[in-house]
Structure 1
Amino acid sequence: MSDDVRDRLDIERAMRHYAVGLDERKWDEWDRAFTADGIIDFTAMGGKRETRDQMRERLSKPDPTWLFAQHPLYNTVVAVDGDTATAFSHFQMETGRRAADGRVTRVSGGGSYADTLARTPEGWRITERRVFLKWKHTFTVEDEVERG
């Protein structure tokens, strides 16, 4: 396998650690996505700019309404320049929260990630992820699945 292919696979792995770590609240996966000082920037969509650890702390707080999240990535384009890289990808998101009436409030949406990455001794890691939301739809449905 060429170094270019190996780099691309490792960069995409870091990007997926973000999605799996966030969606499943598996913070060991989450940490494998970022450098220790990595930044996630949601300001383009009215959110926060915070460190990896700040976002993990905020999302780790107990939330009995939280049910699920999924963030598949696709259309990924990677450019490697020595020990740094940039990546662009689209995402689609689905989240669910238990509403007071027992139904589920769903948020569907999509957008893009613009990442900068660095090669580290542990592999490629995101140093900054900027998040851009292109569309969002919020609706309430009857809960149709038992989650475990």
Structure 2
Amino acid sequence: MSDEVQDRLDIEKAMRHYAVGLDERRWEEWDLAFTADGIIDFTPMGGRRETRDQMRERLSRPDPAWLFAQHPLFNTVITLRGDTATAFSHFQMETGRRSEGGAVTRVSGGGSYEDTLARTPEGWRITERRVLLKWKHTRTEKDEVTRG
């Protein structure tokens, strides 16, 4: 396998560490996505700009209403420039929170990530991720899942 192919695979792996780490609240996985000073920028959609650690701390707080999150990545385009890279990808998200009467409030949405990455001694890591939301739909419905 060529170095370029391996770099592309490793970059996509870092991007997936973000999604799996966030969705499953696996913070050790989340940390594999970013450099120690990595930034996540939600300001294009009215959110916060914060460090990897700030976002982890905020989302690690106990939240008994939180049920699930999923957001797969696709349509990824990577541009390599030596030991740095940029990547663009689409995502689709689903999140769920407990609501009154055993219902769940679900938020569906989709958008894109614009990433800047760097090759580090530990591998490729995201130095900055900008999040752009293209659509969103919120609804409350019966929760049909039995969670164990």
TM-score, reference length from structure 2: 0.99
Q: Name the structure 2 match of 1:22.
A: 22
Task: Give distance in 1, aligned partners of 2:129 and 2:146.
Answer: 33
Task: Give distance in 2, aligned partners of 1:133 and 1:66.
Answer: 21
| Structure 1, unaligned runs of 5 or more | none
Question: What do residues 81-117 of structure 1 show as CA deviations (whole Å, max 9, x unaligned)?
Answer: 0100000000000000000222000000000000000
Alignment of 1:129-144 (within 5 A): 129-144=129-144
SS in 2 for 1:146: coil
Q: Name the structure 2 match of 1:40.
A: 40
Task: Give distance in 2, aligned partners of 1:86 and 1:57.
Answer: 26
Task: Give distance in 2, aligned partners of 1:103 and 1:79.
Answer: 43
Letter in 2 for 1:72: P
Alignment of 1:89-128 (within 5 A): 89-128=89-128
Letter in 1 for 2:132: F
Q: How far is the alpha carbon of 1:32 from its aligned partner?
A: 0.1
Task: Give distance in 2, aligned partners of 1:29 and 1:54.
Answer: 16
Alignment coverage as a number of residue pairs:
148
Q: Name the structure 2 match of 1:146.
A: 146
Q: How far is the alpha carbon of 1:52 from its aligned partner?
A: 0.1
Task: Give distance in 1, aligned partners of 2:11 and 2:101.
Answer: 42
Q: Name the structure 1 match of 2:59.
A: 59
Identity of aligned residues (%): 83
Task: Give distance in 2, aligned partners of 1:97 and 1:36.
Answer: 30
SS in 1 for 2:80: strand
Structure 1: which 4+ aligned runs deviate by more than 3 Å? none
Q: How far is the alpha carbon of 1:64 from its aligned partner?
A: 0.2
Q: How far is the alpha carbon of 1:146 from its aligned partner?
A: 1.3
